Amino acid sequence: MKTFWKLIILTVFLWCSPVSAEFCGVNSETAKTECTFKTNYTAKDTRISVTYTPQGWAMTVTVVRKKEFAFIEGDSKAKTKNGEMYDLEYVTTSRDMAPRRKLKEMPVYIVSEAFLHEMGSDNGKVLFWLTAEDPKEVEVKFSSGMFEDMDAFIAETKTVLGDQFKDE
């Protein structure tokens, strides 16, 4: 009888986990479950969002500029406090107008899970050098404290979207 009640409690817990999710939810338009990690905007109007796609972990870096687009396109690099350089595989860039007549560029990169873990555990700055047309690189700095929940995001994403993950 104890086993029966344990199974019922376990089933209720597993069934309710998406309801208590912090990073994952159901998109009302597409009716698909999505998991997204977003930082707040920095003082220099930049923000990072991370999602999981069939191609792997995708990172969007939103950069808001005052005068003109930088045309951020191409593979870029990031460096964590420990000095390790990571390659960011470029996918695409979206451009739009932001409030107050500013220009917004949102390049999307495929990144490694190791890089995401490093951002979450680093105690310092995470520097990005985004390949651009003019200037040649756009440098973006983030406090690693903005990523302190990254490990929890990865664990929740793997739990909620478990069947989508390949053997890694």
pTM comes to 0.80
User: Any idea what DSSP says for residue 74?
Assistant: S
How deeply is 123 buried, as exposed, middle or buried, from its count of CB atoms within 10 A (0-12, 13-18, 19+)? exposed
- The chain-wide mean pLDDT, for the chain, equals 83
Instruction: Please tell me the predicted confidence (pLDDT) of residue 21.
Output: 60
Per-residue pLDDT at 7:
45
Q: What is the pLDDT of residues 140-167, one digit of tens each?
A: 999 888 998 999 999 999 988 887 765 4
Q: Report angle CA 120, 43, 52 to the nearest 5 degrees.
A: 35
pLDDT value, residue 94: 94
Instruction: For residue range 95-131, list pLDDT tens digits in order.
Output: 998 888 889 999 999 999 999 998 888 777 899 999 9
Give the pLDDT confidence of 67-90 residue by residue, as tens digits: 888 899 999 999 988 778 999 999
Class of domain 35-150: mainly beta
Confidence of residue 13 (pLDDT cuts 50, 70, 90): very low
Task: Write out the DSSP string of 95-135.
Answer: EEEEGGGEEEEEEEEEE-HHHHHHHHH-SSEEEEEEEBSSS
pLDDT at 18: 44
Mean pLDDT of 48-61: 92
Rounded Cα–Cα distance for residues 46 and 128 (Å): 11
CA-closest candidate to residue 77, choices 152, 136, 5: 136
Decide: helix, strand or coil at residue 13.
helix
